[in-house]
Chain A
Amino acid sequence: LAKTTQPISMDSYEGQEVNITCSHNNIATNDYITWYQQFPSQGPRFIIQGYKTKVTNEVASLFIPADRKSSTLSLPRVSLSDTAVYYCLVGDRRNNDMRFGAGTRLTVKP
């Protein structure tokens, strides 16, 4: 299974765009890239999933370059409530990858 590497923590300020990059050098052909968000004292919540190029929903955008060896989660105009841990997972769509790793702890400051 593809191993992922993310920054341990990031700081930002309200209203800024935040980009969190995940490296997955040995991603397999059938693997998808999924991001989850976890607030304190809650279970993780699905944010976005993609295979290649760009995916956008009401919460975030996911940018995946052609070689798919990395991906970037983009959060537009963050607010204090976006303070959370963000996890990048890589795995086959048919078999959810269960390796969440340590995630990236995002702190949004006023």
Chain B
Amino acid sequence: GAGVSQSPSNKVTEKGKDVELRCDPISGHTALYWYRQSLGQGLEFLIYFQGNSAPDKSGLPSDRFSAERTGGSVSTLTIQRTQQEDSAVYLCASSLRVSGRINEQFFGPGTRLTVL
């Protein structure tokens, strides 16, 4: 079956512009995560959605970042008034939460964002 997909794969924007990054999780996966990874660094957690529960937004670095998940499936990460320090690879992952099962996260290929 299809894995997690993300679009666009690359995005170049100018400082101050808004960008939207899209994530299509694996069908049926109830949990969805967004991470950010700067060049040569580890993964930085941004936000987590689980079913109909309120999202865990504790990782969002500023109020310029927001995300939504429509219909429990597709998610969009929006960055307003982009800054050069927002340049990074944005990774999305999804997992299936089933009692007693290992909740393995499946990652998409990422969106490489470059802010000029």
Given contacts A43-B93, A43-B109, A43-B110, contact A102 B103 (CB under 8 A): no
How many interface residues does chain B have, given as a range? 20 to 34
* Interface flags, A16-56, vs B, CB<8A=1, else 0: 00000000000000001010100000111110010000000
Q: Count A-B contacts at CB 8 Å.
A: 51
Does chain A have a CB within 8 A of B2? no
A98 to B46, CA, bound (A): 9
Which of B35, B97, B103 is A100 in contact with, Cβ under 8 Å? B35
Q: Is the CB of A45 within 8 A of B107?
A: yes
A87 to B45, CA, bound (A): 14
Within 8 A of A (CB), among B55-92: 59, 91
The 5 closest A-B pairs by CB, nearest first: A43-B107, A100-B43, A98-B45, A102-B42, A46-B104
